């Protein structure tokens, strides 16, 4: 009598259950555009980058149109340190003088962009790297910050140098690529009216691109689980209005505020839902998109195409 190991059978049943659970979501999102911001520590780990690339290729293969926007703060910092160029921050934004912006462009549009493109291509996709300067993709203007002196209460405008914010995104550049079955991988560099190069926060660039494309989803990979309530519990889902209320009462604070504001802005400009995910979790994109429980916080618009209860979709 032959006795078989039950482990392979259990694994196969688990895989079958997962595929069955994902099917309604696959049908729902076929043909939709997802803008995905890749950043945080996941970019610095080869295994996580490889899994991310596999997830992007899988999304493309089932009919989703992924657009990747990446950051690169730690890599830029290492290069500046290697070149003995001092770099300061104001409200989390790197003060970028002429020398610094040249290094920023070199790192973002060069080594980082090509590493992500190569990873996606090695996973079986067809990726193309570009920056916001290519094809006039991202027009930008100088960004400034106002800081209030805690002692005098006097507001002072801080000069961030060549740090910019998007003024216009040309969606035709990306739409043409998506129609050609290409996965765009974008470095967040923009061009000013007089040809200046601007360093743009990757979250901000991703939000602007999602709005311009009318993307179904904006997915932001970070180093946090998502939005937490006052008891430090993960909030799975909330509306833009609820997210604003959490900022007002201090529940959302610090560096999470600009991320959430970017999500809200995208939702108010035609993106249906925005997600804040922990990019350190392997295959977190697939867990969030194709399971009923998700893995992050979803901020949704009032006319979001899915039922507010993720479980309800399984009844379709």
Return the active site residues: 37, 40, 73, 203, 259
Question: What's the burial of 118, exposed, middle or buried (CB within 10 Å: 0-12/13-18/19+)?
Answer: middle
CB 201 within 8 A of CB 257: no
DSSP 304: -
CB-side exposure of 9: number of CA atoms within 13 Å? 4
What are the DSSP E strand ranges found in the chain? 33-38, 65-70, 89-90, 93-94, 127-131, 138-148, 155-169, 183-187, 189-191, 197-200, 217-222, 237-239, 273-278, 297-300
Question: What's the burial of 155, exposed, middle or buried (CB within 10 Å: 0-12/13-18/19+)?
Answer: exposed
């Amino acid at each position: 009598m032959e006795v078989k190991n039950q482990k392979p059978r259990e694994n196969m049943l688990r895989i079958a259950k997962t595929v069955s659970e994902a099917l309604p979501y696959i049908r729902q999102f076929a043909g939709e555009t997802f803008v995905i911001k890749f950043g945080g520590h996941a970019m610095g780990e080869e295994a996580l980058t490889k899994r991310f690339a596999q997830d992007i290729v899988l999304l493309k293969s089932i009919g989703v149109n992924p657009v990747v926007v990446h950051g690169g703060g730690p890599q830029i910092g290492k290069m500046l340190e290697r070149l003995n160029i001092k770099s300061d921050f104001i409200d989390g934004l790197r003060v970028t003088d002429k020398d610094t912006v040249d290094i920023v462009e070199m790192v973002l549009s060069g080594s980082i962009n090509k590493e992500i493109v190569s990873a996606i291509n090695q996973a079986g996709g067809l990726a193309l790297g570009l920056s916001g300067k290519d094809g006039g993709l991202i027009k930008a203007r100088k960004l400034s910050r106002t800081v209030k002196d805690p002692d005098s209460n006097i507001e002072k405008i801080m000069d961030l140098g060549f740090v910019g914010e998007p003024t216009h995104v040309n969606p035709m550049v990306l739409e043409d690529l998506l129609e050609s079955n290409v996965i765009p991988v974008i470095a967040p560099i923009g061009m000013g009216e007089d040809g200046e190069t601007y360093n743009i926060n990757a979250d901000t660039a991703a939000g602007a691109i999602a709005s311009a494309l009318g993307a179904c989803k904006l997915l932001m990979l970070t180093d946090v689980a998502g939005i937490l309530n006052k008891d430090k519990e993960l909030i799975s889902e909330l509306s833009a209005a609820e997210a604003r209320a959490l900022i007002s009462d201090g529940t959302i604070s610090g560096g999470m505020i600009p991320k959430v504001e970017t999500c809200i802005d995208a939702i108010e400009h035609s993106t249906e839902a925005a997600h804040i995910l922990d990019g350190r979790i392997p295959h977190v994109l697939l867990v969030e998109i194709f399971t009923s429980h998700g893995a992050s916080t979803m901020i949704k618009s009032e006319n979001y195409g899915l039922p507010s209860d993720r479980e309800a979709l399984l009844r379709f």
